[in-house]
Amino acid sequence: MKVSVDVCYKSLNKYQEELCGDKVEILKTEDSDIIILADGMGSGVKANILATLTSKILGTMLLGGATIDECVETIVKTLPVCQVRKVAYSTFSILQIFKNKKAYLVEFDNPSCVFIRDGKIVKIPFVERLIENKVIKEYHFDVLLNDCFVLMSDGVIHAGVGKVLNFGWTWDSMAEYTLKSTKSTLSASRLASMLSKACDDLYMQIPGDDTTIAVARVIPVKEVHLFTGPPVNKDSDEKLVSQFMKGSAKKIVCGGTSANIIARVLDKEIRTSLIYTDPSLPPMAKIEGIDLVTEGVLTLSRTLSLLKTYLSNDIDYTFFQKLDLENGASKIAKVLIEECTNITLYVGKAMNEAHQNPNLPFDLSIRMNLVEQLKDTLKKMGKEVETFYF
Protein backbone atom coordinates (compact mmCIF):
# COMPACT_ATOMS: atom_id res chain seq x y z
CA MET A 1 0.00 0.00 0.00
CA LYS A 2 1.24 3.48 -0.88
CA VAL A 3 1.80 5.67 2.17
CA SER A 4 1.93 9.42 2.68
CA VAL A 5 3.06 11.60 5.59
CA ASP A 6 0.49 13.96 7.12
CA VAL A 7 2.33 16.83 8.84
CA CYS A 8 1.12 19.82 10.83
CA TYR A 9 2.41 22.05 13.61
CA LYS A 10 1.00 24.54 16.08
CA SER A 11 2.83 27.21 18.09
CA LEU A 12 1.96 29.35 21.09
CA ASN A 13 3.93 32.56 21.55
CA LYS A 14 5.28 33.38 24.98
CA TYR A 15 2.85 35.74 26.73
CA GLN A 16 3.09 39.33 25.41
CA GLU A 17 5.52 38.39 22.62
CA GLU A 18 4.51 39.15 19.02
CA LEU A 19 6.96 36.65 17.51
CA CYS A 20 7.47 32.98 18.34
CA GLY A 21 10.95 31.84 19.34
CA ASP A 22 10.33 28.42 17.77
CA LYS A 23 10.37 27.71 14.05
CA VAL A 24 9.17 24.70 12.04
CA GLU A 25 10.21 23.92 8.47
CA ILE A 26 8.33 21.25 6.51
CA LEU A 27 10.13 20.14 3.36
CA LYS A 28 9.22 17.60 0.68
CA THR A 29 11.80 15.97 -1.55
CA GLU A 30 11.32 13.35 -4.26
CA ASP A 31 12.06 10.55 -1.81
CA SER A 32 11.23 11.93 1.65
CA ASP A 33 9.41 14.31 3.97
CA ILE A 34 11.53 16.40 6.36
CA ILE A 35 10.28 18.14 9.51
CA ILE A 36 12.65 20.51 11.33
CA LEU A 37 11.75 22.09 14.69
CA ALA A 38 14.19 24.71 15.98
CA ASP A 39 13.92 26.44 19.38
CA GLY A 40 15.83 29.72 19.70
CA MET A 41 17.13 30.70 23.14
CA GLY A 42 15.02 33.20 25.05
CA SER A 43 11.94 34.67 23.44
CA GLY A 44 10.77 37.40 21.10
CA VAL A 45 12.71 38.81 18.16
CA LYS A 46 16.13 37.40 19.09
CA ALA A 47 14.82 33.86 19.60
CA ASN A 48 12.76 34.07 16.41
CA ILE A 49 15.81 35.10 14.36
CA LEU A 50 17.97 32.34 15.87
CA ALA A 51 15.33 29.64 15.35
CA THR A 52 14.64 30.85 11.79
CA LEU A 53 18.35 30.84 10.94
CA THR A 54 18.77 27.34 12.38
CA SER A 55 15.79 25.83 10.57
CA LYS A 56 16.63 27.51 7.24
CA ILE A 57 20.30 26.48 7.36
CA LEU A 58 19.40 22.89 8.26
CA GLY A 59 16.67 22.71 5.60
CA THR A 60 18.81 24.19 2.82
CA MET A 61 21.78 21.94 3.62
CA LEU A 62 19.71 18.75 3.93
CA LEU A 63 17.99 19.47 0.60
CA GLY A 64 21.45 19.98 -0.88
CA GLY A 65 22.53 16.53 0.27
CA ALA A 66 24.65 17.55 3.27
CA THR A 67 25.24 15.06 6.12
CA ILE A 68 23.99 15.76 9.64
CA ASP A 69 27.64 16.22 10.71
CA GLU A 70 28.08 19.00 8.16
CA CYS A 71 24.76 20.57 9.20
CA VAL A 72 25.58 20.60 12.93
CA GLU A 73 29.10 21.85 12.27
CA THR A 74 27.69 24.74 10.22
CA ILE A 75 25.08 25.58 12.89
CA VAL A 76 27.69 25.53 15.68
CA LYS A 77 30.07 27.74 13.73
CA THR A 78 27.34 30.12 12.52
CA LEU A 79 25.41 30.72 15.72
CA PRO A 80 27.34 31.96 18.77
CA VAL A 81 27.19 30.39 22.24
CA CYS A 82 25.47 32.35 25.01
CA GLN A 83 28.26 34.01 27.04
CA VAL A 84 26.21 33.89 30.24
CA ARG A 85 24.79 30.35 30.20
CA LYS A 86 27.49 28.78 27.99
CA VAL A 87 24.84 26.90 25.99
CA ALA A 88 23.88 26.89 22.31
CA TYR A 89 21.63 29.65 21.04
CA SER A 90 19.30 27.17 19.33
CA THR A 91 18.23 23.56 19.87
CA PHE A 92 16.59 21.44 17.18
CA SER A 93 14.92 18.16 16.13
CA ILE A 94 14.96 16.79 12.58
CA LEU A 95 12.69 13.95 11.41
CA GLN A 96 13.11 12.57 7.89
CA ILE A 97 10.67 9.91 6.66
CA PHE A 98 11.59 8.28 3.35
CA LYS A 99 9.24 6.89 0.72
CA ASN A 100 10.85 3.43 1.24
CA LYS A 101 9.51 3.55 4.86
CA LYS A 102 12.93 4.16 6.41
CA ALA A 103 13.20 7.04 8.89
CA TYR A 104 15.92 9.12 10.52
CA LEU A 105 15.57 11.31 13.61
CA VAL A 106 18.14 13.69 15.07
CA GLU A 107 17.72 15.57 18.35
CA PHE A 108 19.91 18.26 19.86
CA ASP A 109 18.75 19.36 23.35
CA ASN A 110 15.02 19.31 22.47
CA PRO A 111 12.62 17.05 24.42
CA SER A 112 12.51 13.53 22.97
CA CYS A 113 10.06 12.72 20.20
CA VAL A 114 6.88 10.91 21.27
CA PHE A 115 6.56 7.83 19.03
CA ILE A 116 3.23 5.97 18.96
CA ARG A 117 2.70 2.64 17.20
CA ASP A 118 -0.22 0.20 17.47
CA GLY A 119 -1.82 2.16 20.31
CA LYS A 120 1.33 2.16 22.46
CA ILE A 121 4.16 4.58 23.29
CA VAL A 122 7.34 3.05 21.86
CA LYS A 123 10.91 3.91 22.87
CA ILE A 124 13.20 3.94 19.83
CA PRO A 125 16.86 2.95 20.41
CA PHE A 126 19.25 5.83 19.74
CA VAL A 127 22.98 6.46 19.48
CA GLU A 128 24.66 9.47 21.09
CA ARG A 129 27.41 11.14 19.11
CA LEU A 130 29.65 14.12 19.73
CA ILE A 131 29.74 16.59 16.84
CA GLU A 132 31.73 19.78 17.49
CA ASN A 133 31.50 18.97 21.23
CA LYS A 134 27.70 18.83 21.02
CA VAL A 135 25.83 15.69 22.11
CA ILE A 136 23.52 14.60 19.28
CA LYS A 137 20.98 11.78 19.55
CA GLU A 138 20.48 9.80 16.34
CA TYR A 139 17.73 7.30 15.60
CA HIS A 140 17.46 5.00 12.56
CA PHE A 141 14.27 2.93 12.22
CA ASP A 142 11.54 1.67 9.88
CA VAL A 143 8.07 3.23 9.84
CA LEU A 144 4.74 1.43 9.56
CA LEU A 145 1.31 2.59 8.48
CA ASN A 146 -0.43 4.65 11.22
CA ASP A 147 2.81 5.46 13.08
CA CYS A 148 2.61 8.85 14.80
CA PHE A 149 5.49 11.15 15.77
CA VAL A 150 5.30 14.28 17.93
CA LEU A 151 8.25 16.69 18.02
CA MET A 152 8.17 19.47 20.62
CA SER A 153 10.00 22.46 22.05
CA ASP A 154 10.69 22.58 25.79
CA GLY A 155 7.75 24.95 26.32
CA VAL A 156 5.54 21.84 26.06
CA ILE A 157 7.00 19.95 29.03
CA HIS A 158 7.26 23.19 31.05
CA ALA A 159 3.54 23.92 30.61
CA GLY A 160 1.85 24.65 33.92
CA VAL A 161 5.04 25.17 35.98
CA GLY A 162 4.17 26.92 39.24
CA LYS A 163 0.53 27.32 38.22
CA VAL A 164 -1.56 24.25 37.52
CA LEU A 165 1.38 21.87 38.11
CA ASN A 166 4.37 22.19 40.45
CA PHE A 167 6.93 20.87 37.99
CA GLY A 168 5.24 21.31 34.64
CA TRP A 169 3.76 18.78 32.25
CA THR A 170 6.36 16.01 32.36
CA TRP A 171 7.36 14.17 29.19
CA ASP A 172 5.63 11.00 30.44
CA SER A 173 2.35 12.82 31.16
CA MET A 174 2.47 14.58 27.80
CA ALA A 175 3.16 11.26 26.02
CA GLU A 176 0.19 9.58 27.75
CA TYR A 177 -2.11 12.45 26.78
CA THR A 178 -0.80 12.24 23.18
CA LEU A 179 -1.52 8.50 23.11
CA LYS A 180 -5.09 9.09 24.27
CA SER A 181 -5.55 11.92 21.74
CA THR A 182 -4.28 9.89 18.75
CA LYS A 183 -7.12 7.44 19.32
CA SER A 184 -9.76 10.17 18.91
CA THR A 185 -8.19 12.04 15.96
CA LEU A 186 -7.64 11.23 12.28
CA SER A 187 -5.32 13.98 11.14
CA ALA A 188 -2.02 15.56 12.18
CA SER A 189 -3.70 18.98 12.20
CA ARG A 190 -6.42 18.00 14.68
CA LEU A 191 -3.92 16.23 16.96
CA ALA A 192 -1.52 19.22 16.92
CA SER A 193 -4.43 21.51 17.75
CA MET A 194 -5.57 19.30 20.68
CA LEU A 195 -2.07 19.08 22.16
CA SER A 196 -1.51 22.83 21.75
CA LYS A 197 -4.83 23.55 23.49
CA ALA A 198 -3.81 21.30 26.40
CA CYS A 199 -0.56 23.28 26.77
CA ASP A 200 -2.44 26.58 26.60
CA ASP A 201 -4.87 25.41 29.28
CA LEU A 202 -2.01 24.32 31.56
CA TYR A 203 -0.44 27.76 31.10
CA MET A 204 -3.92 29.21 31.89
CA GLN A 205 -3.75 31.07 28.53
CA ILE A 206 -0.58 32.90 29.64
CA PRO A 207 2.25 30.83 28.09
CA GLY A 208 5.47 31.20 30.06
CA ASP A 209 7.55 30.04 27.10
CA ASP A 210 7.28 29.60 23.33
CA THR A 211 5.50 26.28 22.89
CA THR A 212 5.52 24.31 19.64
CA ILE A 213 4.21 20.87 18.69
CA ALA A 214 4.89 19.28 15.28
CA VAL A 215 2.98 16.12 14.39
CA ALA A 216 3.75 13.62 11.62
CA ARG A 217 1.42 10.70 10.93
CA VAL A 218 2.12 7.93 8.42
CA ILE A 219 -1.16 7.44 6.54
CA PRO A 220 -2.35 5.60 3.43
CA VAL A 221 -2.63 7.67 0.25
CA LYS A 222 -6.22 8.97 0.27
CA GLU A 223 -7.73 9.96 -3.08
CA VAL A 224 -10.66 12.31 -3.60
CA HIS A 225 -12.58 13.05 -6.85
CA LEU A 226 -14.53 16.33 -6.97
CA PHE A 227 -16.90 17.17 -9.84
CA THR A 228 -18.40 20.61 -10.36
CA GLY A 229 -20.15 22.22 -13.32
CA PRO A 230 -21.69 20.68 -16.45
CA PRO A 231 -19.50 20.02 -19.53
CA VAL A 232 -19.77 22.42 -22.48
CA ASN A 233 -20.87 19.56 -24.70
CA LYS A 234 -23.62 17.30 -23.34
CA ASP A 235 -22.07 14.41 -25.29
CA SER A 236 -19.16 14.53 -22.78
CA ASP A 237 -21.42 13.70 -19.80
CA GLU A 238 -20.92 9.94 -19.94
CA LYS A 239 -17.14 10.19 -20.44
CA LEU A 240 -16.83 12.59 -17.49
CA VAL A 241 -18.96 10.41 -15.18
CA SER A 242 -17.05 7.28 -16.24
CA GLN A 243 -13.70 8.87 -15.32
CA PHE A 244 -15.11 10.43 -12.14
CA MET A 245 -16.45 7.09 -10.85
CA LYS A 246 -13.23 5.13 -11.45
CA GLY A 247 -11.34 3.65 -8.50
CA SER A 248 -11.99 3.77 -4.78
CA ALA A 249 -11.55 7.55 -4.31
CA LYS A 250 -14.04 9.49 -2.16
CA LYS A 251 -16.48 11.16 -4.54
CA ILE A 252 -17.85 14.68 -4.07
CA VAL A 253 -20.33 16.39 -6.42
CA CYS A 254 -20.85 20.17 -6.14
CA GLY A 255 -23.78 21.77 -7.94
CA GLY A 256 -27.39 20.94 -8.80
CA THR A 257 -26.77 20.46 -12.52
CA SER A 258 -23.68 18.33 -11.80
CA ALA A 259 -25.74 16.15 -9.45
CA ASN A 260 -28.46 15.75 -12.12
CA ILE A 261 -25.83 14.62 -14.66
CA ILE A 262 -24.45 12.01 -12.23
CA ALA A 263 -27.94 10.75 -11.35
CA ARG A 264 -29.03 10.53 -15.00
CA VAL A 265 -25.90 8.74 -16.26
CA LEU A 266 -25.80 6.32 -13.31
CA ASP A 267 -29.59 5.94 -13.33
CA LYS A 268 -29.79 6.80 -9.63
CA GLU A 269 -32.23 8.88 -7.62
CA ILE A 270 -31.35 12.23 -5.97
CA ARG A 271 -32.71 12.54 -2.43
CA THR A 272 -32.47 16.02 -0.89
CA SER A 273 -31.51 16.05 2.78
CA LEU A 274 -33.97 17.46 5.30
CA ILE A 275 -31.07 18.43 7.62
CA TYR A 276 -30.87 22.19 7.18
CA THR A 277 -28.58 23.48 9.91
CA ASP A 278 -27.17 26.59 8.18
CA PRO A 279 -29.69 28.95 6.56
CA SER A 280 -26.92 30.65 4.55
CA LEU A 281 -26.10 27.40 2.69
CA PRO A 282 -28.42 25.22 0.58
CA PRO A 283 -29.03 21.71 1.98
CA MET A 284 -27.09 18.64 0.85
CA ALA A 285 -28.44 15.69 -1.12
CA LYS A 286 -27.72 11.97 -1.51
CA ILE A 287 -27.00 9.82 -4.55
CA GLU A 288 -26.18 6.13 -4.12
CA GLY A 289 -22.44 5.57 -4.70
CA ILE A 290 -21.50 9.23 -4.10
CA ASP A 291 -20.00 10.21 -0.74
CA LEU A 292 -21.10 13.86 -0.72
CA VAL A 293 -23.54 15.86 -2.86
CA THR A 294 -23.81 19.62 -2.27
CA GLU A 295 -24.86 22.86 -3.95
CA GLY A 296 -22.23 24.51 -6.11
CA VAL A 297 -20.88 28.07 -5.98
CA LEU A 298 -22.08 29.13 -2.50
CA THR A 299 -20.87 25.91 -0.89
CA LEU A 300 -17.51 25.91 -2.70
CA SER A 301 -16.99 29.55 -1.74
CA ARG A 302 -17.53 28.74 1.97
CA THR A 303 -15.30 25.66 1.64
CA LEU A 304 -12.53 27.79 0.16
CA SER A 305 -12.86 30.25 3.05
CA LEU A 306 -12.42 27.40 5.57
CA LEU A 307 -9.37 26.05 3.70
CA LYS A 308 -7.75 29.49 3.63
CA THR A 309 -8.35 29.88 7.38
CA TYR A 310 -6.70 26.49 7.91
CA LEU A 311 -3.77 27.46 5.70
CA SER A 312 -3.18 30.64 7.71
CA ASN A 313 -2.23 28.34 10.64
CA ASP A 314 -4.18 30.72 12.90
CA ILE A 315 -6.52 27.96 14.03
CA ASP A 316 -7.50 26.48 17.35
CA TYR A 317 -9.77 23.65 18.37
CA THR A 318 -12.90 25.73 17.66
CA PHE A 319 -11.94 25.60 13.96
CA PHE A 320 -12.27 21.81 14.01
CA GLN A 321 -15.65 22.14 15.68
CA LYS A 322 -16.70 24.14 12.59
CA LEU A 323 -15.45 21.29 10.39
CA ASP A 324 -17.73 18.89 12.26
CA LEU A 325 -20.89 20.88 11.45
CA GLU A 326 -23.66 19.33 9.35
CA ASN A 327 -23.41 21.50 6.24
CA GLY A 328 -21.94 20.95 2.79
CA ALA A 329 -19.03 23.39 3.08
CA SER A 330 -17.85 22.01 6.44
CA LYS A 331 -18.12 18.44 5.20
CA ILE A 332 -16.13 19.14 2.00
CA ALA A 333 -13.48 21.10 3.93
CA LYS A 334 -13.18 18.29 6.51
CA VAL A 335 -12.61 15.69 3.77
CA LEU A 336 -10.03 17.88 1.99
CA ILE A 337 -8.14 18.72 5.21
CA GLU A 338 -8.30 15.41 7.06
CA GLU A 339 -9.07 12.64 4.56
CA CYS A 340 -7.23 13.60 1.38
CA THR A 341 -3.67 13.38 0.09
CA ASN A 342 -4.44 13.42 -3.67
CA ILE A 343 -7.37 15.17 -5.34
CA THR A 344 -8.62 15.09 -8.92
CA LEU A 345 -10.94 17.93 -9.99
CA TYR A 346 -13.44 17.31 -12.81
CA VAL A 347 -14.57 20.73 -14.01
CA GLY A 348 -17.31 21.34 -16.57
CA LYS A 349 -16.87 24.59 -18.51
CA ALA A 350 -20.50 25.27 -19.43
CA MET A 351 -21.72 28.69 -18.27
CA ASN A 352 -24.39 29.16 -15.62
CA GLU A 353 -26.36 32.29 -16.51
CA ALA A 354 -27.37 32.75 -12.88
CA HIS A 355 -23.75 33.33 -11.87
CA GLN A 356 -22.48 35.78 -14.46
CA ASN A 357 -22.89 37.33 -17.86
CA PRO A 358 -23.15 34.38 -20.31
CA ASN A 359 -21.32 36.45 -22.92
CA LEU A 360 -18.13 36.37 -20.85
CA PRO A 361 -15.60 33.55 -21.45
CA PHE A 362 -15.41 30.68 -18.91
CA ASP A 363 -11.99 31.89 -17.73
CA LEU A 364 -13.70 34.94 -16.17
CA SER A 365 -16.57 33.04 -14.56
CA ILE A 366 -17.18 32.85 -10.81
CA ARG A 367 -16.89 29.06 -10.78
CA MET A 368 -13.60 29.08 -12.67
CA ASN A 369 -12.25 31.65 -10.24
CA LEU A 370 -13.28 29.40 -7.33
CA VAL A 371 -11.71 26.33 -8.96
CA GLU A 372 -8.41 28.15 -9.56
CA GLN A 373 -8.30 29.40 -5.96
CA LEU A 374 -9.20 25.93 -4.71
CA LYS A 375 -6.37 24.35 -6.73
CA ASP A 376 -3.86 26.91 -5.46
CA THR A 377 -4.95 26.53 -1.83
CA LEU A 378 -4.86 22.72 -1.96
CA LYS A 379 -1.35 22.76 -3.43
CA LYS A 380 -0.20 25.07 -0.63
CA MET A 381 -1.69 22.56 1.82
CA GLY A 382 0.63 19.92 0.34
CA LYS A 383 -2.03 18.01 -1.60
CA GLU A 384 -1.34 16.45 -5.02
CA VAL A 385 -3.80 18.15 -7.40
CA GLU A 386 -4.84 17.07 -10.93
CA THR A 387 -7.52 18.83 -13.01
CA PHE A 388 -9.59 17.70 -16.01
CA TYR A 389 -11.76 20.20 -17.92
CA PHE A 390 -14.76 19.20 -19.98
The enclosing domain of 30 has a CATH number of 3.60.40.10
pLDDT of residue 362: 47
- Which pTM was predicted? 0.88
Q: Write down the pLDDT at residue 81.
A: 64
Low-confidence ranges of the chain (pLDDT < 70): 80-88, 162-168, 352-364
Distance between CA atoms of residues 9 and 98, nearest Å? 19
Q: Which helix (H) or strand (E) holds 3?
A: strand 3-12
Residue 139: the pLDDT is 96
- pLDDT computed for residue 133 by the predictor: 81
Domain end among 220, 238, 264? 220
* pLDDT at residue 364, rounded to an integer: 47
214 and 242 inside one domain: no
Domain count, the chain: 2
* Shared domain check, 54 and 198: yes
pLDDT recorded at residue 181: 95
d(CA 135, CA 132): 9
Round the CA-based radius of gyration of the chain to a whole number and report it.
24
Mark whether 337 and 384 lie in a shared domain: yes
Q: How many other C-beta atoms are found inside a 10 Å radius of the C-beta of residue 184?
A: 9
pLDDT of residue 77: 80
pLDDT averaged over every residue in the chain: 90
Residue whose C-alpha is closest to residue 240's, from 230, 255, 254: 230
Predicted pLDDT at 164: 58
Same domain, 206 and 251: no
pLDDT of residue 246: 95
DSSP H or E segment with residue 379: helix 366-380
Residues 357 and 255 in one domain: yes
Query: The domain containing residue 353 runs over which residues?
Result: 223-389
Are residues 345 and 232 part of one domain?
yes
Same-domain check for residues 188 and 312: no
For the stretch 166-196, pLDDT in tens is 566 889 999 999 999 999 888 999 999 999 9
Give the 3-state DSSP-derived string for 95-164, with helices as H, strands as E and coil as C. Answer: EEEECCCEEEEEEECCCCCEEEECCEECCCCCEEEEECCEEEEEEEEECCCCCEEEEECHHHHCCCECCC
